[in-house]
Chains A and B, each alone.
Chain A
Amino acid sequence: MALLKSSKIISTVGLHPPLGVLSIRASSWWSEVQMGPPDPILGVSEAYKRDTNPKKINLGVGAYRDDQGKPYVLSCVRKAEAQIAAKKLDKEYLAIGGLGDFTKACAKLALGDDNEVIKSGRNITVQTISGTGSLRIGANFLSRFHTEARDVYLPKPSWGNHTPIFRDAGMQLKAYTYYDPKTCGFDFQGALNDISKIPEKSVIMLHACAHNPTGVDPRPEQWKEIADLVKKRNLLVFFDMAYQGFASGDIDRDAWAVRYFIEQGHNIVLSQSFAKNMGLYGERVGGFTVVCKDAEEAKRVESQLKILIRPIYSNPPMNGARIAATILNTPDLYKEWLGEVHGMANRIITMRELLVANLKKEGSTRNWKHVIDQIGMFCFTGLKPEQVERLTKEFSIYMTKDGRISMAGVTSGNVGYLAQGIHAVTK
């Protein structure tokens, strides 16, 4: 019996792999790979998830929430999904440029139904992996074909992911003045000054509406001057439109700047996202448009966009594009969608008003007018990084370090607590 026992022990020791291979374990192809820092925006949500404080608020990522703080699946989306399910479609590969019904409707939404560009066929619009994918394809395209200038001018500040996207594509990043921290508003003169010095043919990035992260948009007269100056400087305009409908609640109003620039003869490139305005975040629905000189050029550009797309992901995913196309192309669904976008924008406007009212109630004497003046999903509170850190550590209120809050995360249920926290760190 004793012998059996000891042989068992010996055999288990022999079969215990980790002890034996510890020395080999140390050597790996990846020993020099550093731990990457968490994404500044998406990392906020991940930290929020780990927090156990029942009063916690997530004001990080720009995803719409209803007044119960829940994700909102649009009714028109559910209806579209039911319609699609009934059709029993196959799952064959889409073309590299995506679903035709979607790309046509996507262009029309941005440019307007009877835009001359669409009528003359001088735009090429491809389906992309939401806004990020669109920006990336655009960046790759410019990097490869816009060889006369390598600089992309972003507004200061801009969406955090713009910089790494363009840099990874091989472009150089520069900035033009945009936000005035003194007024928490638009530094119009500063912007004009900087833009007037941008070298010809450089790429200038403009947020079509609901500027991210500041929520500060130029007024129409200011857009007109910018368009004029940009033309004088002969710059290539890259519009990022991720919030059409979300800013004012009105699709056409939010696309006004894009349409004005085209009218004035700018052949722009444009990124669109349907993540927010259709709530299709995880389905990755977007479009990338190049407005060309004529239809012939559009064909050449299209062929090159396909060459760029193929080695990244071959062709885009169907589900979200099909939902979006159904909504855009079915009159009563489209109408319902316009109503729902309007509703989402309105709730956000209401929350802005409530937040300011509550801050006053808390006794804050600071000027919070910018919270109401700013537009879209985000609000640039003006909070400093130390104040943001306190808000997170002491109140479990999560936002990005730059003081940006997603108004969509504010509800009538948490706005009081939010005001408390903000007042506490700013008084």
Chain B
Amino acid sequence: IMSLFGEVPQATPVAVFKLSNDFKEDANPKKVNLGVGAYRTDEGQPWVLPVVKKVEKIIVADNSLNHEYLAILGLPEFRSSASKIALGEDSPAIQENRVGAVQCLGGTGALKMGAEFLRRWYNGNDNTKTPVYVSAPTWENHNAVFANAGFEDVRPYKYWDAEKRGLDLDGFLGDLESAPKHSIFVLHACAHNPTGTDPTHVEWMQVAEVMKRRKLFVFFDSAYQGFASGCLDKDAWAVRYFVTQGFEMFCAQSFSKNFGLYNERVGNLTIVARDSDNLKRVLSQMEKIVRVTWSNPPSQGARLVAITLNTPELFAEWKDNVKTMADRVLLMRASLQAKLQALETPGTWDHITQQIGMFSFTGLNPKQVEYMIKERSIYLMASGRINMCGLTTKNIDYVAESIHETVVNVQ
């Protein structure tokens, strides 16, 4: 019998998950997984934050809680406290009642909702031709999120300068100047994925100036707040600066990493509008999009985050847990750089400590990456991106030596 799906082709697997799979199947006892972006302890183990364990117990013990549907836009106390985290408690925009939010399925879900809304309502109606700019390089799923929302023209903006291993500011500003008016720009709020390279404050101010003048749309992706510097406010500087500049904007937030709640899919799309009337209409349309996608979001993770953010002692404990994670990453950065310098590995390695957040763009090329995987069982992305969290005091020597050997033997 002919099948209706006879012509469905086998899709290529998502790279980062395939990498984890290959790592799992590798029998080499020295193997190291520097692929997927999840935090690991110095024992190489996942870490459920102590504050999360505490709050889970609170939830389990609370018999007044049930599993009823949340509202379409999600748990109100989650949405408002999450937006406060991004914009700051005393944000004038919040005080002016022009900040709203949609609870979403992780950072991906927040990007998705924002993209779907923009395609329907921004720059006309259903204007699928509005260019969407994502950094070169960027998180690989950005392209698909916007393309699947219907945008026909997803393009790169210059960002990473491979030669100098830093930000290509001139290229970035140049693309902002030449972008068609009203183009959408996806900006990484901090700890750029995959390069770990963030603009400085002054550089962000330059970006904002061009975007304001050329009427470009600001869409922040904030997946690592707290993770970059260890300080929530520091990591939110760019987002907050843009708010002071009067932008109407979106900020997709993820609590996967900074709460370690990866699999509970806790995300928030923060919306900053001109005033509360515009905000109200925007939220009403967001509801319609949510309704045809997932109806209403999952309650467990949002509840957990809301309780934490709204209870002073728990909030303090959480900030401390976040700093623990950020500090370990900073330690591994310093360690790796020092070891490569000691080995006198060819090339410069300052970028390892200059970059920030979970990831580092090592500068290893695809051939070198292949060598690392095949010969040393060290798993990293073809782009040369490593997850610093995969490094531990126990494996860092092996990794440093392997990088050294690879750079020396493979060009």
Contacts and interface: CB of A to CB of B under 8 A. Distances in A.
Interface stretch (A34-42, A188-196, A353-361): A34-42
Contact of B48 (A18, A91, A267, A316): A91
A236 B295 contact: no
B335 interface: no
A67 interface: no
Chain B interface bracket (under 10, 10 to 19, 20 to 34, 35 or more):
35 or more
A93 B38 contact: yes
Given A29-B217, A91-B48, A310-B14, A301 B5 contact: yes
B215 to A, nearest CB: 9
Interface string B59-81: 01000001111111000000000
A130 B295 contact: yes
Contacts of B147: 311
B122 interface: yes
B26 to A, nearest CB: 18
Contacts of B263: 91-94, 315, 317-318
Interface in B243-302: 246, 248, 256, 260-265, 273-275, 278, 280-282, 284-285, 287-288, 291-301
Interface in A254-301: 265, 267, 275, 279-284, 290, 292-293, 297, 299-301
Interface in A346-391: none
Interface in A21-45: 24-25, 27-36, 39, 42
B264 A314 contact: no
B244 to A, nearest CB: 12
A92 B70 contact: no
Contact of B261 (A91, A132, A311): A91
Interface in A56-106: 61, 63, 71, 73, 77, 81-82, 85, 88, 90-96
Contacts of B46: 90-92
Chain A interface bracket (under 10, 10 to 19, 20 to 34, 35 or more):
35 or more
B292 A30 contact: no
B260 A29 contact: no
Nearest to A31: B278
Interface string B1-35: 10111111111111001000000000000000000
Contact of A267 (B3, B260, B282, B293): B3
Interface stretch (A161-169, A244-252, A326-334, A416-424): A161-169
B8 A145 contact: yes
Contact of A73 (B36, B67, B71, B108): B67
A325 to B, nearest CB: 13
A93 B262 contact: yes
A129 interface: yes
A146 B14 contact: no
Contact of A96 (B17, B36, B296): B17
Contacts of A92: 38, 46, 262-263
B264 A319 contact: yes
Interface string A144-158: 011010000000000
Contact of A91 (B3, B262, B282): B262
Given A312-B112, A317-B298, A293 B261 contact: no
A145 B217 CA distance: 33
A25 B310 CA distance: 31
B144 interface: yes
A28 B14 contact: no
Contacts of B105: 129, 312-314, 316-317
Contacts of B144: 310-311
A122 to B, nearest CB: 10
Contacts of B125: 32
A145 B3 CA distance: 12
Nearest to B107: A314
Given A165-B292, A314-B141, A297 B6 contact: yes
Interface of A: 17-18, 24-25, 27-36, 39, 42, 46, 61, 63, 71, 73, 77, 81-82, 85, 88, 90-96, 129-133, 136, 145-146, 148, 161, 164-165, 168, 201, 236, 265, 267, 275, 279-284, 290, 292-293, 297, 299-301, 303-304, 306-307, 310-320
5 contacts: A39-B291, A132-B294, A284-B298, A303-B10, A314-B105
Question: 7 tightest A-B contacts by CB?
Answer: A313-B105, A28-B274, A36-B284, A282-B299, A311-B144, A132-B295, A318-B263
Given A30-B278, A91-B46, A136-B292, 6 more contacts: A33-B285, A46-B71, A96-B14, A265-B1, A293-B3, A315-B265
